Amino acid sequence: MLEGSEPLALKIGMVSHAFGERKALDNVSCAIAPSRHCVLLGLNGAGKTTLFSLITRLYDNTSGAIEVFGHDVRRQPQLALRQLGVVFQQRTLDLDLSVLQNLIYHGALHGIPPARAKRRAEEELERLGLAARAGERVRKLSGGQMRRVEIARALLHRPRLLLLDEPTVGLDIDSRQSILDHVRQLCRDQGLAVLWATHLIDEVQPQSQVIVLHRGRVLAEGPRERVVAEAGAGDIREAFSRLTRADDAKGGAKDGDRAA
Amino acid sequence: MSEAAPVRDPRPLGPAAYLLCLRGIVWREALRFLQQHARFVAALVRPLIWLFVFAAGFRAVLGVSIVPPYETYILYEVYIAPGLVAMVQLFNGMQSSLSMVYDREMGTMRTLLISPFPRGFLLISKLLAGVAISLLQVYVFLAIAWFWDVRPPLIGYAAVLPALVLSGLMLGALGMLLSSMIKQLENFAGVMNFVIFPMFFASSALYPLWRMNEASPLLYKICVLNPFTYAVELIRFALYGQISWPALAVVAGCGAVFLIAAIMAYSPSKGLIARRGGPGG
C-alpha cells in the first residue's frame, strides 16, 4: 500500500450553490487528507450546513465537484456515501426507540445484518461509556449522551471520513469536552479523517487543520499555525476575526474574484 | 480523480444487502407504530365510528340497490365497508406523509437519505413499510366488522390482500409526493381539508356512483376522475373474489405516476428540497 497513492479523504473543487438569489457557497475549494482532523470554522450562516448538505447529497452540487476518497458524490454516490459517517446538527435519533434499535436501524440502512450491527453497536457504545444504556429509550438520555450515540451510529458502518456539523451545540462543558476528546482520539487511533464544523473557535485543536468559511467563501485554509501566521495574528481567534473583518470591510464588493 | 478503487473500498452492496435494508425500514416503521398506541386506536376507531354510527343512521335513508359485485340487496354497512377500508389506507398514507414531513423537520429523514442505497429504493421501502402497517389496520378492522355482519366470503379476505397492497402503494405514493411539497408540519391541516376529505367524499366510498349521477352530473364526473374511487372499487370487488379491471388499471397507473413523481421530488438533482431555501446555518 503506497502512501502517496491514496486519494484525499475529501476534495471540494470550485463548488458554488445558491438558493434563489442568495448565494450560500461561492466557489469553495478545500481538501482534507486521510486521517486528518479538520475544523471548518465559520459563523452561523457562513454556509457550513449547505456544504454538508452537498457532501451528503441531500441535494446535488450544480457546479464544481465533491469527491470522497476519490469518488465523485454525484457520479458514484454509493461508494462515496459508504465512506461517510455523519453527525448532523439537528438531533436525528428516533426518540421512541431504544439506543440499540436506533443503531440496528442505521446498520440496516447500510446493508449490515442485525446481529453484526448489534455487535458493532455494543462495541462503539462500550467505547463511549454508554453500554449500560443500550436498551433504554433515547428520549431518556441527556443531550450529551444522545450526541455520543449519534457518533456511535455514524461509525457503525466503519466510514473513513466523519462529518460533524456543530456537534457540541447546546451541550454542557463536560459533555462538550468529552466529545471533543473522543473524536480527536478516533482521528489519532483509527486513522479517521474528520471534518468538524463549528463556530466555536476554542474547538480548534493545536494539531487541527483549519478552513475558515465566511459568507460562503473560503478565506483561509491550512494547518492552524500557518493560518495564524498568514493572517499576521497571535492566535487563531485573532486570525479569525482579522480575516472575517477584512472580508466584511470589503463588504458589498462581492460576487466572484476572491483571492485564492 | 482516479477510477482505480482505493484499497479499502467496501464490497458492493448485493441483493442480500438490499433485502436487509428493506427489512430494517419495515421493522423500524412497525416498531414505531406499535409504540404509538394512540395512533393504532385512532386508526381503528375512525372507520368503526363510521360503521357503527354513520352507517346505522343512514341505513334507513339510503337504499342501495343491487350493484356489482353484490348479488343481493345489501345493508348499507356492507356497502360502505370497502370504502372504510380504503379510508384506513388513505389516512395511513397521509399519516406517513405527515411523518415524513416531521422526519424532515426533525432531521431523521436525513439519516435515511444518507444511506448508500439508491434513493428510489429507499423511498419504495418506506412506502412498503407504510403499506404493511395499513394491512395490519385493515385486517383488524375487517375482523371487527365481521361481528357487525359485514361478512364477505372467506376467499375475499385473501383476494383483497394484493388489492390492498396496490391501493396502499398508490395512496402512500400520493402522500409521499404531497410530503415533498409541504414545507412545514402545520400545513398538515391543509392536507386534511384539501386532500383527505374531498377524496373520501367525492368517491364511491359512501354512495354508489349512479346515485351521485342522479344528484349532480358534475359531482359524478368529479367522482369518476377521483383515483380514490378506483381504490375503493378495487377493494370492493376483491373482497368478493372478483377483479375490477378498470379499477386495477387506474390504481396501478396512478400509483406508478405518483411514485415516479415522488421519487423525482426527492431526488437530489431535480429535487424540490434543493429549491426550497435549503437548511439554515
Domain ranges of chain B: 15-268
Percent of chain A predicted with pLDDT > 90: 78
Which three cell numbers, joined as nine digits, stand for A147? 450526541
CB-based contact (8 Å) between B189 and chain A? no
- Give the per-residue pLDDT at B279: 44
Q: What is the mean pLDDT of residues A234-253?
A: 87
Which three cell numbers, joined as nine digits, stand for A3? 502512501
- Give the per-residue pLDDT at B68: 79
CB-based contact (8 Å) between A170 and chain B? no
Q: Which residue of B has its CA nearest to A91?
A: B107
CB-based contact (8 Å) between B225 and chain A? no
Q: What is the mean pLDDT of residues B41-47?
A: 89
- Express each pLDDT in B202-233 by its tens digit: 999 888 888 888 888 999 999 999 999 999 99
At residue B177, does pLDDT exceed 80? yes
- For residue B277, name the pLDDT band (cuts at 50, 70, 90): very low
Cβ contact, residue pair B1, A88, below 8 Å: no
Q: Chain B closest CA to A144's CA: distance in Å?
A: 18
Which three cell numbers, joined as nine digits, stand for A23? 448565494
At residue A150, does pLDDT exceed 90? yes
Asked casually if ipTM beats, i.e. exceeds, 0.90, the reply is no
Cβ contact, residue pair B116, A24, below 8 Å: no
CB-based contact (8 Å) between A43 and chain B? no
Cβ contact, residue pair A45, B8, below 8 Å: no
Cβ atoms < 10 Å from Cβ of B281: 21
Residue among B245, B203, B235 nearest B81 (CA) = B235
Q: What is the mean pLDDT of residues A14-32?
A: 90
Which three cell numbers, joined as nine digits, stand for A188? 489519532
Burial of B73 from C-beta contacts in 10 A (0-12 / 13-18 / 19+): exposed
At residue A3, does pLDDT exceed 60? no
- Give the per-residue pLDDT at B210: 84
Burial of B144 from C-beta contacts in 10 A (0-12 / 13-18 / 19+): middle
Q: What is the mean pLDDT of residues B136-146?
A: 95
In chain A, which residues have their Cβ closer than 8 Å to the Cβ of B20?
108, 111-114
Q: Which of A45, A56, A67 sits opposite B114 (nearest CB)?
A: A56
In chain B, which residues have their Cβ closer than 8 Å to the Cβ of A155?
none
- Give the per-residue pLDDT at A220: 94
CB-based contact (8 Å) between A149 and chain B? no
In chain B, which residues have their Cβ closer than 8 Å to the Cβ of A88?
107, 110-111
Q: Which of B1, B122, B279 sits opposite A53 (nearest CB)?
A: B279
- For residue A82, name the pLDDT band (cuts at 50, 70, 90): very high
- Give the per-residue pLDDT at B110: 83
Cβ contact, residue pair A1, B36, below 8 Å: no
Cβ contact, residue pair B116, A81, below 8 Å: yes
Which three cell numbers, joined as nine digits, stand for A144? 450529551
Q: What is the mean pLDDT of residues A206-229?
A: 94
At residue A109, does pLDDT exceed 60? yes
Residue among B264, A163, A84 nearest A76 (CA) = A84
H/E segment holding residue A141: none
- Give the per-residue pLDDT at B54: 85
CB-based contact (8 Å) between B113 and chain A? yes
Spatial separation of the C-alpha atoms in residues A203 and A165, rounded to whole Å = 13
- Give the per-residue pLDDT at B1: 40
Spatial separation of the C-alpha atoms in residues B235 and B244, rounded to whole Å = 9
DSSP state letter for A202: G
Classify domain A1-83+159-260 at the CATH topology level. Rossmann fold (3.40.50)
